[in-house]
Amino acid sequence: SELTYINVSGNTDAPFEIPADLYNQLTTKEGVIAGNSNPEPEDDKYILNDKAFGEYLIHNSKLEAGDGNKLPEGIAFESDGNIILDKKIAVTVNILYLVKDNARMKELEAAGVQTANQKIASLDGIQFFTNVTEIKLTSNQLTGKLDLSMLTKLTTLEMNSNFVNELIVPPSLTRLRYAASTSDSAPDNRWLISIDLSKNPTINHIHLPNHHLTKDGFKLPGTFSELTYINVSGNTDAPFTIPAALFGQLETKDGVISE
């Protein structure tokens, strides 16, 4: 009941799974994620293990009609100390806005959101948003592996300033923005070392500066007629050599050179 600070970031098996109750009481939680030890209440409901994620969903469901970030009423709710996701409603969502920059945290705090200043560290439950086309996750604390391959309609992913070091995206993705975090509190293993975009033939925007991508780990699609923006500057093996045809069509070409 007294534990409020854990920092085990950068360890071999980080992030470590800990009980959800402990996770939610921590004020500092580096290198840990919340476990989901509770039984599911119903087949169409799912207990979220990250309170900041759940409360953000609830907040966005209460936004005024016409707000582009508004989520359907009832998408998430509190029950017996847990936050429950309604899977049937999650399927209807197209845009998911979960940014936690300073300005947004102030807005959430003013709205009375308990976890306004707590970054999202786990997206467990995202797998049920199967019709989502756009996700914005800027300035959170997602770590380790983030697999979004099941979100087969996702076209836009913006997640600058997170700590994910393994990212898997669906073939539908056309816009990817994930600049490496420069936060002093970021773990040592916060950088991507590889990403496979070879199955994304319609991708048009790749923004991945200041990671640890290598020549063998940065894979582009064989066809690239839509691609006009690449920024992979500051990566380990930058500048990367790309086909002359691709280089010639790019409007932004940072961290790449023509073959």
Judge whether residue 42 has pLDDT over 80: no
Which of 34-43, 81-90, 226-235 bottoms out in mean pLDDT, i.e. has the lowest?
A: 34-43
Predicted pLDDT of residue 24: 82
Peptide bond just before 15 cis, omega within 30 deg: yes
Average pLDDT over residues 211-233: 96
Sequence letter at residue 32: V
**CB distance 232 to 255 below 8 Å:** yes
Among 55-69, 79-93, 157-171, 176-190, the range scoring the smallest mean pLDDT is 176-190
> Residue 38 pLDDT more than 70?
no
Residue 201 has pLDDT above 60, yes or no: yes
- Encoded tokens for 144: 């380790």
**Residue owning tokens 């070091």:** 165
Q: What is the pLDDT of residues 110-159, one digit of tens each?
A: 999 999 999 999 999 999 999 999 999 999 999 999 999 999 999 999 99
Q: How confident is the model at residue 30 (pLDDT cuts 50, 70, 90)?
A: confident
The mean-pLDDT minimum among 34-38, 68-72, 133-137, 143-147 falls in 34-38
Q: Quick one: pLDDT at residue 108?
A: 97
pLDDT value at 36 more than 70: no
User: Which segments of the chain does DSSP mark as H helices, in order?
Assistant: 20-25, 51-61, 87-90, 102-110, 244-249
Q: Does the pLDDT value for residue 247 go beyond 70? A: yes
Q: What are phi and psi of 183, to 5 degrees?
A: -65, 140
Q: What is the mean pLDDT of residues 50-60?
A: 98
Please give the full DSSP string across 16-28, using - where no structure is assigned. Answer: EEE-HHHHHH-SE
Alpha-carbon separation of residue 258 from 165, 239, 240, 249 (angstroms):
27, 10, 8, 11
- Per-residue tokens: 9: 């970031």
Q: What is the predicted pLDDT for the residue at 244?
A: 97
Do residues 212 and 194 make contact, with C-beta atoms less than 8 angstroms apart? no
Buried/exposed code over 28-59 (b: 16+ C-beta within 10 A; e: otherwise): ebbbbbbbbeeeeeeeebbbbbbbbbbbbbbb
Better-scored residue on pLDDT, 39 or 52? 52
Lowest mean pLDDT among 25-29, 37-41, 170-174, 244-248: 37-41
Counting DSSP H helices and E strands in the chain, the numbers are 5, 20
Tell me the mean pLDDT in the region 161-175.
97
Q: If you count them, how many residues does the chain have?
A: 259
End-to-end CA distance of the chain: 60
What is the band of 92 on the pLDDT scale with cuts at 50, 70, 90? very high
Query: What are 96-106's pLDDT values in tens digits?
Result: 999 999 999 99
Do 145 and 126 contact (CB within 8 A), yes or no?
A: no
Question: 126 — phi, psi (to 5°)?
Answer: -60, -25
Please give the model's pTM, rounded to 2 decimal places: 0.83
3-state SS of 77-108 is EEECCEEEEEHHHHCCCCEEECCCCHHHHHHH
Share of the chain above pLDDT 70, in %: 97
What's the token pair of residue 68?
């582009």
Is a pLDDT exceeding 90 seen at residue 235? yes
* Residue the block writes with tokens 């496979």: 196
- Alpha-carbon distance 119 to 29, whole Å? 10
